[in-house]
């Protein structure tokens, strides 16, 4: 008999947040909203998937919920602001960053580490170059 290769859909980010808040942190909605500096209704909308947090709120959520910021960014489809900053620094970056990311999209974690070390080495030779 053939085994099922069906994969379950990932848990929606709002459900993960609610579970983290209630089961792991054992915290109420109102107290968590206060800690985040937002209204309870706003937090309810985020946990129900009706709203997406601002970049600043995403960082606060990661801290208050004790969750990895990058995983939250991925779940909400929000890139780290440094990507936009690097992209906007120069015309060269605006052209090369997307090309670089498309080329590197399938690298393994180990390959990314190697590439990062190579980039560090290149940027340290003779100091940072002006664009």
CATH number of 13-76: 1.10.260.40
d(CA 52, CA 32): 17
Tell whether pTM > 0.75.
no
Structure-model confidence comparison of residues 92 and 81, the more confident one: 92
Convert the pLDDT of each residue in 8-38 to its tens digit. 777 899 999 999 999 999 999 999 999 999 9
- Axis crossing angle, helix 40-47 with helix 29-36, rounded to the nearest 10: 100
d(CA 99, CA 32): 41
Q: Which of 6, 26, 22 is nearest to 14 (CA)?
A: 22
> How sure is the predictor about 131, in pLDDT bands with cuts at 50, 70 and 90?
very low
d(CA 24, CA 65): 9
Sketch the domain layout of the chain as residue ranges. 13-76, 81-124
Q: What is the pLDDT of residue 127?
A: 54
Please determine, for residue 42, whether its predicted confidence score (pLDDT) is greater than 90.
yes
Task: Say if CB 22 and CB 31 are below 8 A apart.
Answer: no
d(CA 88, CA 98): 12
């Amino acid at each position: 008999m053939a085994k099922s290769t069906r994969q379950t859909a990932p848990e929606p980010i709002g459900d993960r947040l609610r579970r983290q808040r209630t089961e792991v942190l054992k915290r109420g909605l109102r107290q968590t909203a206060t800690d985040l500096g937002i209204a309870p209704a706003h937090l309810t909308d985020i946990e129900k998937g009706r709203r997406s947090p601002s970049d600043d709120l995403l960082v606060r959520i990661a801290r208050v919920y004790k969750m990895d910021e990058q995983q939250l960014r991925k779940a909400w489809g929000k890139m780290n602001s440094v990507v936009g900053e690097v992209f906007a620094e120069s015309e060269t970056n605006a052209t090369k960053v997307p090309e670089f990311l498309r080329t590197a999209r399938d690298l393994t974690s180990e390959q990314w580490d190697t590439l990062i070390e190579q980039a560090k080495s290149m940027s340290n030779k003779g100091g940072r170059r002006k664009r």
